[in-house]
Amino acid sequence: MNDSKHNTDRQLRRIRSFVRREGRLTPGQQRALDALWPRYGLDFDATPDWPDPASRSVPLTLEIGFGNGDSLAQMAAADPDSRYIGIEVHRPGVGHLLKTLDAQGSDNVRIYCHDAVEVLEQKIPDASLDRVLLFFPDPWHKTKHHKRRIVQPDFVALIARKLRPGGHFHMATDWAPYASHMLRVMQACPDFRNTSPTGDFVKRPGYRPVTKFERRGQRLGHVVSDLVFERIQTGNQ
């Protein structure tokens, strides 16, 4: 490994994609984890067996930080011919999603309960994703905490490696300063182009469900911003 790649990997590992604020598991969530994880779960320490490399023709979407999983479950149910991987470190949310997937009979979703950066680095092949979703990540409001925001240049470069050319990175936030930060970071990356005709934000795509969190923010007067950037073909590919 050359020094520059080593330094980049080390910096990425310092940027955690989460802060663990785990609440108490309900009995139903615990039962779901016990009974359904073998069906839907992907263990970080195991050799990945999903998605099947032979199924590269089937679209693959990765959602980072799916919360309670309601949006991911809705997208998967509406698009059964695609595959979805969700990443979430908070086990109550994982348990909730497991229950929902089982109830609706979805079998096109798999879940990692692990840090997203490490999953991307070690478990997701390059140029294998059609879409990456990052909805309402922690905005880290205080200036001294801005360095903890997951959308940073090195993270965006990692996403670019994992997306196929023509794939999309879709972000959404209800915190205007973070929306501006995301826009600046994405515009500075030569591997992406903004799909917005006005060069900033896009109308919420129809595939993204409106969440309870989002509706609560709207009642408080928060403006939700969606950003969709396309992975472009570069000379290095």
The residue behind tokens 């080390």 is 10
Task: Map residue 189 onto helix, strand or coil.
Answer: coil
The residue behind tokens 């359904």 is 36
The C-alpha atoms of residue 68 and residue 56 are separated, in whole angstroms, by 28
Asked if 93 and 66 touch (Cβ cutoff 8 Å), the reply is yes
Task: Map residue 33 onto helix, strand or coil.
Answer: helix
The C-alpha atoms of residue 50 and residue 110 are separated, in whole angstroms, by 8
Angle 117-161-50 (CA atoms, 0-180°, nearest 5)? 65
The residue behind tokens 């023509």 is 166
The C-alpha atoms of residue 45 and residue 60 are separated, in whole angstroms, by 21
The C-alpha atoms of residue 134 and residue 122 are separated, in whole angstroms, by 19
- Residue 14 CA neighbour count, 13 Å, CB half: 10
Number of H helices, E strands in the chain: 8, 7
Give catalytic status of residue 115 as yes or no.
no
Among 9, 138, 154, 226, the one annotated catalytic:
138
The C-alpha atoms of residue 32 and residue 22 are separated, in whole angstroms, by 17
Active site residues: 138
